[in-house]
Amino acid sequence: MLFLLDYLYTSVYAKSIPRNKISYIRSLNEEFIDYVFLGSSRVHNTIDSDVIESITGKKVINLGIQGAKIDDYLLMLKLLNNQKIKVKTVFIQIDYVFNNEGTSMISKSYLMPYIRDSLISSHIKERDLDYYKLKFIPFYRYLVYDYKLGFREFFNSIIGKKPKFNLENGYNPLFGSINTNLKSSLPDYIKKDNKIILEINKFAKELNIEVSYFMAPFCFNTANKDFSSKLKEKIPNLIDYSQLFLEDTYFFNCSHLNDKGAKEFSKRVAFDILKKNQNN
């Protein structure tokens, strides 16, 4: 029974329309994308690819994933390369995630249907003590990640239900604001280094991909704002947008822009890209 369920779930996820950004990348093949944006929800809910495309005239995609960590960004680059996707510049959102290690549970869940793919299998094997259980015990991975790969997602994949946002753009807007007293806090310390960032830089250099790090906006009432200065010491080419907006009307919560703010921010990023290209 478990063998049959495993076969059914794996077959459906392999053949159905993409419903997350990992499966979307796997659906691409031999394309050229000018600008790829990687990050957590602070990219997923922040970068409107259509806005940047309309201003720059270049092909743009937002590959931010909720809760993603730096290790996930490295995997995304490897997946793009695996699909023969040529990228000119990758923009990576970096903030307190610099202090974090490991792979996000959400990103890992999206990998499970493809655990027999050599790249994905190797990635999971190096990072998960349950690798052999996940790969070789029938249906085990779908039980472990039921909250993302359970019957509801299986059924939605069967009927071809599209995700709530357009994967070709990758932007998932937030509307309004959750409260009127926005506040947050950045870490009061920063790690000595982040080895995964060094791996990203090395991998991108080998593929002749330019890497541009940026820090998306936080609301004005954010504690430990000097974290961005500490981060810039670690990443000298960091573009700091953390205090771009002083008004709370642009924010859904203190660390995420609403749709109004995201569109304004995307415009600013696009014009900065144009300015940089003109100066080169």
Residue 181 has pLDDT above 80, yes or no: no
CB–CB of 56/50 below 8 Å? no
Mind listing the domains of the chain with CATH numbers? 2-279 (3.40.50.1110)
Which of these, 211, 213, 219, 212, lies nearest to 242 by C-alpha position? 219
Average pLDDT over residues 169-197: 90
Q: For residue 10, name the pLDDT band (cuts at 50, 70, 90).
A: very high
- DSSP 8-state secondary structure symbol assigned to residue 97: G
Tokens of 32: 């050229």
Q: For residue 211, name the pLDDT band (cuts at 50, 70, 90).
A: very high
- DSSP 8-state secondary structure symbol assigned to residue 83: T
Quote the pLDDT of residue 102: 85
- pLDDT (tens digit, 9 = 90+) per residue, 73-91? 999 999 999 999 999 999 9
Quote the pLDDT of residue 45: 98
- pLDDT (tens digit, 9 = 90+) per residue, 230-272? 999 999 999 999 999 999 999 999 999 999 999 999 999 999 9
In three-state form (DSSP H/G/I as H, E/B as E, the rest C), the secondary structure along 46-87 is CCCHHHHHHHHCCCEEECCCCCCCHHHHHHHHHHHHHCCCEE
Say if residue 195 is exposed, middle or buried (CB neighbours under 10 Å; 0-12, 13-18, 19+): exposed
> Facing residues of 223 across strands?
185
State the pTM of this model: 0.95
